[in-house]
Amino acid sequence: MDQLEAKLDIQKIKADFPTLKRKVRSNLDLIYLDSAATSQKPNEVLEAMDHYYRHSNANIHRGIHTLAEEATAQYEGARQRIAKFIHAAHSREIVFTRNTTESINLVANSWGRSTLQAGDMIVLTEMEHHSNLVPWQLLASQIGFKLEFIPVDATGVLDLDVYRQLLEQAPKLVAFTHMSNVLGTINPAKEMIAAAHQAGALVLLDGAQSVPHLPVDVQELDADFLAFSGHKMCGPTGIGVLYGKEELLDRMPPFLGGGDMIKKVYLRSFTPNDLPHKFEAGTPAIAEVIGLGAAVDYLNAVGMEQIALHEQEIMHYGAKQLAKVPGLRVYGSAEQKGAVFSFTVEGVHPHDVSQVLDDLGIAVRAGHHCAMPLHEKYGLPATTRASFYLYNTLDEVNKLAEGLLHVNKLFA
Ligand code: 7TS
């Protein structure tokens, strides 16, 4: 446990987040355990966005005036810092989207539509979020390629033997989540990507849950595409990122058409803009990009290694504390796992668990967490999920465990 001990001053971190100071219900301290859905935002992010609107508000890439130049510099500066954050080779490889979902839809509709043919096959997994299933289902129904799935076992781990067998069928793409939003499982991305490449497949990594919580290096992983969302990593909603290797993005056709993504437009044709602008049609979410830049600065200042270590400590402690609650079953016990606990309490509906916890000021999520096939596999209509982040404490784990004992008492 010693080497796991993180050096973060959590009370100091907590103080950076205005929402974490508020009271809920009858003057209870808020215990926010729903960061897998969306994280809270520190002052630095709120101030960066406020400053842009109060001081430099203008459209980017077009006006030759002071405010437009400031806005463009802030927007493009954020892109460079976000590129560095995931160790991209160049900021041209960072495309701004609305969220992970749109990033995956971009790959499906641009790369997928122009590459995949009837009879082709792509590999997904049984633990995917709907946003890494439905875009491929939509496209497959139009083109006629096949979808295959790496199974997940009872402990929440992917069956890599089946994966190797699927790779022998020469898939064109493997798309999988780096970290499961339900099970917490951190998949062996580097090994899985290397195997896919050996089989001639490209890889799209869903980093919605990994980029906020772990140091992620796209060059070390050798991911072809990486999708993630600003709102889960202390940034605002409405901004997401698609990382793509430059040579791939270069060859891909535009996804959305309009302003900014063109060099020249004629009545019947256009020439696309250079990367990354080719994929950023229309006025983008300028304030949100600036906010995400500030979020990345904030996470860097705390240290992604330290954040990951802190969450490992919470994960190990949480597993121990929850195991003491009678009738509670956690889904997902992979060795490599983030601080996410999806569970059921015997005899109590997951929504009731969530409701009782809310009465105690503890915010968790109940439902299928946009992973219906995974819940179906485990024969569950829903689970309750507690998900932790850099601002959560071990004491909040204790409060959750106490809350669950209270649930048991109420429904006994
Ligand atoms: N992929 C994973 C692994 C996710 O956890 C989520 C969001 C997404 C994709 C989609 O992200 P979005 O920003 O485009 O919506 N997951 C959750 C969740 O677990 N609870 O609410 C959203």
Q: Which CATH class is domain 3-32+304-410?
A: alpha beta
Question: What is the rounded CA–CA span in Å between residue 127 and residue 381?
Answer: 15
Tell me, what's the pLDDT at 27?
95
Distance of CA 237 to CAs 182, 230, 289, 411, Å?
21, 6, 10, 37
pTM of the model: 0.98
The residue whose CA has the least distance to atom 17 of ligand 1 is 37
Question: What is the rounded CA–CA span in Å between residue 348 and residue 409?
Answer: 11
- With pLDDT > 90 as the criterion, what percentage of the chain qualifies? 97
State whether the Cα torsion 165-167-168-170 is positive or negative.
positive
Residues 58, 121, 319, 370: which is the catalytic one?
Answer: 370
**Both tokens of residue 24?**
């809920």
Q: What average pLDDT score do residues 336-357 get?
A: 98
Tell me, what's the pLDDT at 262?
96
Question: What is the rounded CA–CA span in Å between residue 408 and residue 348?
Answer: 8
Measured in angstroms, how far is the CA atom of residue 37 from the centroid of ligand 1? 6
> Which residues have CB under 6 Å of ligand 1?
36-37, 99-101, 129, 131-132, 177, 181, 206, 208-209, 229, 369-370
Tell me, what's the pLDDT at 63?
77
pLDDT tens column, 252-305: 999 999 999 999 999 999 999 999 999 999 999 999 999 999 999 999 999 999
pLDDT over 80 (residue 6): no
Tell me, what's the pLDDT at 345?
98
Scored b (16 or more CB within 10 A) or e, 329-351 reads ebbbebeebbbbbbbbbeebebe
Decide if 174 contacts 225 (C-beta within 8 A): no
pLDDT over 70 (residue 4): no
Residue 234 appears among annotated catalytic residues:
no
Q: What average pLDDT score do residues 378-382 get?
A: 97
pLDDT tens column, 20-76: 999 999 899 999 999 999 999 999 999 999 999 999 999 999 778 999 999 999 999
For the chain, where do the domains classified as CATH 3.40.640.10 start and end?
46-301
Angle at 257 (CA atoms; ends 256, 262), nearest 5 degrees: 125
Q: What average pLDDT score do residues 77-81 get?
A: 98
pLDDT over 60 (residue 2): no
For the chain, how far is it from start to end, CA to CA, in angstroms? 35
Measured in angstroms, how far is the CA atom of residue 409 from the centroid of ligand 1? 33
Q: What average pLDDT score do residues 237-257 get?
A: 98
pLDDT over 60 (residue 347): yes
pLDDT over 90 (residue 358): yes
pLDDT tens column, 98-118: 999 999 999 999 999 999 999
Q: What average pLDDT score do residues 217-221 get?
A: 98
Tell me, what's the pLDDT at 7?
81
Measured in angstroms, how far is the CA atom of residue 213 from the centroid of ligand 1? 14
- With pLDDT > 70 as the criterion, what percentage of the chain qualifies? 99
CATH for 46-301, options being 3.40.640.10, 3.40.30.10, 3.40.47.10, 3.30.830.10? 3.40.640.10
* Mean of per-residue pLDDT scores for the chain: 97
For the chain, where do the domains classified as CATH 3.90.1150.10 start and end?
3-32+304-410
Angle at 380 (CA atoms; ends 189, 390), nearest 5 degrees: 45
